[in-house]
A and B are shown apart, each in its own frame.
Chain A
Amino acid sequence: MASRRIFSRALALLGAFGLGVLSLHAQAQDQSREAAIPDCPPAPASGSTAVAHSTPDNVRLVTGAPYSALGTSQTVTTLPDGNRVVRQNTIRLWRDSTGRTRSEFSLSSIGGPTPLEVNATVTVIDDPSTRERHMLQPDGRVVTVPIAPCRVLASNEPDLTVGPPRPAGLPLKVSQPVKLGERQLDGETVAGSRVEATIPAGAVGNDHPIKMSAEQWYGKDLQVVVEATYRDPRTGETRYKLREIRRNEPDASLFEVPAGGIKRR
């Protein structure tokens, strides 16, 4: 009789402990979800000297600066026989005052010397307030994944002394970025910077150093890259330009996620 009583009390204690742990876990999740969105670091690769690539799913929250635009990225590769291969990808961008964004990627070719040939469209809606990314597909399916946005502060200019991230697998020497000053571009004040990088001779079986460069012009109001030129003798020259910039509030329906078929990872 006594042992049964002890057993039942121990069981009750165990159950109460389990419920307590579960409720604490749920509370912690709620608190972390409700916590304020942190400020973005001052540079894309701040504090890092050996980052293979920039963060795969980088989401920045910019509020009070709605716009829509069309970004065109064109890569021209000149073959040894003088022939030219032109590839183009486009991005349609929308952002509302609250910081929600919609991006439509029309892809034809991705990658470097051996590119992935693809003819696909991907539409992505980011909602930093709910910390969710919705990937829309033409067949009606929607994939929702969590995101960890950071808040962009207009006063917090990127720290260009840090420089771009260094690929871990590539023996790359990167120069200190050079500021190119400011200018007006399609009514937007843009700040420019240029960086050069070199793969030393013999590093990848090359006779001579391979010299690359990047030049970017950053819109200080829109907080996005408005124009950029990337040169790499292995792939050619890629020019990116944001056109058709409109600073109106986009239609709210663009940020609505179709109902049904939502999956979460």
Chain B
Amino acid sequence: MNEELAGNRHSHTALLLRQYARDLAQIAPSSDLDARIDALVAAGRQNSPASHGPVRRPRRLLPFAAAAGIAALAIIFGILIGMRLEQSRELAAANSGQTHEPAWPTADLTMWPSDSVSFKIPAEYSAQGTLVAVDPNTRNTSTRYWIDVVVSNDGTFRIQKIVPADPKQKQGAPDGIAPHIQ
């Protein structure tokens, strides 16, 4: 039974193969195929960019250039805004209620012009209640202050402001303004 079925399938496949061979034998290239290919190639040359002058750069770079330009502008504006915010933060800190002038400030009775220098000195109150300058690189033993000092070449030395140091700030002088404590 199985051998009979296998024999039928084989003969059917052989029949199909013979028909396919006959079809292949009948196929012949079209006589105008080459002419049509030439026409298509010629038409393609006429429509190509080379036929319109110099080669243009692909426009794919434009979006990248635009994005880079926008990013550069955003960075510049970001830096400017950051600088403004930093300045306003410093100003707010300077004007905050914690900042105070020394009690009984010395009177400025300067009449003649002079040159002056301002700088900050880190200091803490001693047990005797006096302000004592401290090494900016040491850990604070009590509340630390930045003392704004103005010295002039007319012999006057003044305390301008007493500002509590920011406890979050790392030990050391802010921006290196503090003088060296011997």
Q: Which of B70, B102, B107, B118 has the most CB of A within 10 A?
A: B107
Q: Which of B111, B117, B126, B157 has the most CB of A within 10 A?
A: B111
Determine if A148 is an interface residue (Cβ-Cβ < 8 Å).
no
Contact of A216 among B101, B107, B111 (CB under 8 A): B111
Determine if A28 is an interface residue (Cβ-Cβ < 8 Å).
no
Contact A137:B180 (CB < 8 A) given known A44-B111, A122-B119, A224-B114: yes
Binds A, one of B6-14, B18-26, B145-153: B145-153
Binds A, one of B30-38, B40-48, B49-57, B129-137: B129-137
Contact A105:B151 (CB < 8 A) given known A56-B160, A57-B117, A218-B112: yes
A57-B111 Cα distance, complex, nearest whole Å: 17
Using an 8 Å CB-CB cutoff, how does the interface string of A234-257 with B read, 1 for contact, 0 for none? 110011110000000000000000
Determine if A65 is an interface residue (Cβ-Cβ < 8 Å).
no
- Check if B104 sits within 8 Å of A234, measured CB to CB: yes
Determine if B97 is an interface residue (Cβ-Cβ < 8 Å).
no
Using an 8 Å CB-CB cutoff, how does the interface string of B108-145 with A read, 1 for contact, 0 for none? 11111111111101010010011111000000000000
Min CB gap A264→B, angstroms: 9
Contact A143:B175 (CB < 8 A) given known A167-B108, A240-B154: yes
Chain B interface size, as a band, is: 35 or more
Contact A111:B159 (CB < 8 A) given known A44-B110, A116-B121, A163-B111: yes
- Chain B residues within an 8 Å CB radius of A238: 155-156
Identity of the chain A residue whose Cβ is nearest the Cβ of B150 in the assembled complex: A56
- Tally of A interface residues using CB under 8 Å: 86
Determine if B85 is an interface residue (Cβ-Cβ < 8 Å).
no
A172-B107 Cα distance, complex, nearest whole Å: 8
Which residues of chain A in 104-152 are interfacial with respect to chain B, using CB atoms and an 8 Å cutoff?
105, 107, 109-122, 124, 126, 133, 135, 137-139, 141, 143, 152
Min CB gap A164→B, angstroms: 5
- Check if B107 sits within 8 Å of A111, measured CB to CB: no
- Chain A residues within an 8 Å CB radius of B106: 111-112, 232, 234-235
Identity of the chain A residue whose Cβ is nearest the Cβ of B131 in the assembled complex: A116
- Check if A111 sits within 8 Å of B117, measured CB to CB: no
Min CB gap B65→A, angstroms: 8
Q: Which of A73, A120, A164, A193 has the most CB of B within 10 A?
A: A120
Min CB gap B120→A, angstroms: 11
Determine if B167 is an interface residue (Cβ-Cβ < 8 Å).
no
Using an 8 Å CB-CB cutoff, how does the interface string of B154-182 with A read, 1 for contact, 0 for none? 11111110000000000000011101111
A218-B148 Cα distance, complex, nearest whole Å: 27
Min CB gap B91→A, angstroms: 14
A-B contact pairs, 17 of them (CB 8 A): A8-B62, A43-B113, A53-B158, A73-B157, A93-B153, A105-B151, A112-B106, A116-B131, A117-B130, A118-B123, A122-B151, A141-B176, A143-B175, A164-B111, A193-B111, A216-B111, A230-B109
Identify the B interface with A (CB < 8 A): 62, 66, 69-70, 73, 76, 101-119, 121, 123, 126, 129-133, 147-160, 175-177, 179-182
